[in-house]
Chains A and B, each alone.
Chain A
Amino acid sequence: MRPVGAILRKDLLVELRTKESVPSMAIFAVTTFVIFHFGLDRDRLEGELAAGVLWVTILFAAILGINRIFVAEREQGGFDGILMAPIERTSLLIAKAGALFTYLLALELVALPVFALFFLSDGFWEALPRLLVVAVLADLGLATVGALLASIAVHTRARDLLLPLLLLPLTLPVMIGAAAATKPLLSIPLETSGVGKWLAVLALYDLIFGLLAYAVFDFLMED
């Protein structure tokens, strides 16, 4: 775990210094909420529409961070430095997924209150604890698959195009699960039935794609 901690600390330190990813993701999310606010011409959303607006915005904002997660390694030569080090190469995947997970949590720290401000009348605080559980499980899936796909896309010239093309279909189950689990939480009145089932779907996705990423990452990093 030492290399994972070292790479993760390095990534978070670089992000703190450069502020390249998280602020862009947060500004993108807030801007998108503003566009939805005026585009839908609605002051209040609930149920599936609210859940859809929230998770589509978070997914698209996440793409910005995922796109840049390996850029420092690529542009500053860190790939060679890390690949030559006597560490398990999956340490790099776990650290990058950890960094993305942290970015997503930071994004949601901004995005959720702004979303509530724009679209929810009341019940946000009541729904928040369960919403956070949904967010954590969805973020785990996005971070794992995002780190895996970013490691492939970063080696291509069309990185910005390739990543969304690969990411969107593969994260469809996360979006379905997160939106379905969020829908009852943003209904008026708040419901909790059915949330557990979708949380289990999200957890299963995280497990399957986590194992898949762990299994193939070494191969992807081979010359």
Chain B
Amino acid sequence: MEVEQAEPAQVSEGEAGTEAILLREVTRRYGEREALHAVSTSLEAGRTLAVFGPNGAGKTTLLRMLATLLVPHAGTLRVLGSDLPRESHRVRPLVGFLSHDPLLYRDLSGRENLAFYAQLYEVADAAARIAHLLEATGMTRRADEPIRNLSRGMAQRLAVCRAVLHRPRLLLLDEPRAHLDPEAASAVDGLIGPGSDATRVLVTHDVEHGLAEADRVLALRAGHVAADAPAAHVSAADIRGVYGGAVA
């Protein structure tokens, strides 16, 4: 395997405040099993971290910790200048999470779902913001249908709307283009793509696409860091080596 040697983030205390994301020796367990073991990395504000790894490598666990849904069992986790989990309340308004599940209620329409989340996030001028996002994702015409009547791709477009509704500074994206056709993928790109201005953590198995968008790459295998380096120093072949047929 020709992956660049893992280089745990060496960030001094003084620099730590300028990092959008800082993980230092972060460990997370589920019972006896370690999902993440001493993971360290960092990411500057406005940059994109692409996270690769085979199934069970700990990618989703990492995203859920950054989203304040899981707490680390050891190590330091700092997001947008706040320590997690102690200052989760400061981070939550600033994070948008696009997960495997669209986090939308099937019996409500897309517009009702977005209005619900807009109330939770106290989004100013919510109706106009929702209308803008529906238009941007091409969902205006189907916005008043219950989610259960929509295809998975349409639900994914609405999930993108939900994730960016409150204009988050940090986007956590778990296979954001899953279920999207090329046209839809292009439509959501302006909201969650490199031009979105947000700091992004992108979990994907699409190696070429992920590398093209990334400023930094973190590769995980069985919860351990297999590679942590600037994207320019990592090739697609390196990343494929991380997959290597071994599933944790």
Contacts of B121 in A (CB 8 A): 85-86
Q: Which one of A11-19, A36-44, A124-132, A150-158 is at the interface?
A: A11-19
Interface residues of A in 1-40 (CB under 8 A from B): 2-3, 5-7, 10, 13-14, 17-18
Instruction: Given A80-B97, A81-B162, A222-B71, answer yes or no on A87-B104 (Cβ-Cβ < 8 Å).
Output: no
Q: Is the interface of B mostly helix, strand, loop or mixed?
A: loop
Total chain B interface residues with beta-carbon distance under 8 A:
29
B138 on the A face (CB < 8 A)? no
Q: Is the interface of A mostly helix, strand, loop or mixed?
A: helix
Range of interface residues on chain A? Answer: 20 to 34
- Chain A proximity of B63: nearest CB distance (Å): 11
Instruction: Given A6-B120, A85-B120, A222-B71, answer yes or no on A78-B108 (Cβ-Cβ < 8 Å).
Output: no
A169 on the B face (CB < 8 A)? no
Q: How far is the CA of A82 from the CA of B69 in the complex (A)?
A: 10
Q: Which one of B88-96, B189-197, B215-223, B239-247 is at the interface?
A: B88-96
Q: For A13, A77, A78, A86, which residue has the most chain B Cβ atoms within 10 angstroms?
A: A86
Query: What is the chain B residue whose CB lies nearest that of A14?
Result: B107
A106 on the B face (CB < 8 A)? no
Give 1 or 0 for each of A176-201: 1 = CB within 8 Å of chain B CB: 00000000000000000000000000
Contacts of B112 in A (CB 8 A): 10, 13
B122 on the A face (CB < 8 A)? yes
Contacts of A77 in B (CB 8 A): 99, 101-104
Contacts of A78 in B (CB 8 A): 103, 105
- Chain A proximity of B214: nearest CB distance (Å): 24
B131 on the A face (CB < 8 A)? no
**Looking at the complex, which one of B68, B104, B162 makes contact with A76 (CB distance below 8 Å)?**
B104
Contacts of A7 in B (CB 8 A): 120
Do residues A80 and B120 form an inter-chain contact, with CB atoms below 8 A?
no
Contacts of A5 in B (CB 8 A): 119
Query: What is the chain B residue whose CB lies nearest that of A88?
Result: B89
Q: How far is the CA of A84 from the CA of B165 in the complex (A)?
A: 13
- Chain A proximity of B115: nearest CB distance (Å): 9
Do residues B117 and A81 form an inter-chain contact, with CB atoms below 8 A?
yes
Query: What is the chain B residue whose CB lies nearest that of A222?
Result: B71
Q: How far is the CA of A3 from the CA of B122 in the complex (A)?
A: 9
Do residues A14 and B120 form an inter-chain contact, with CB atoms below 8 A?
no
Binding site for B on A (CB under 8 A): 2-3, 5-7, 10, 13-14, 17-18, 72, 76-78, 80-87, 222-223
12 A/B residue pairs, CB under 8 Å, sorted by A: A10-B112, A10-B116, A13-B108, A17-B108, A18-B107, A76-B104, A77-B104, A78-B103, A80-B67, A81-B162, A83-B68, A85-B121
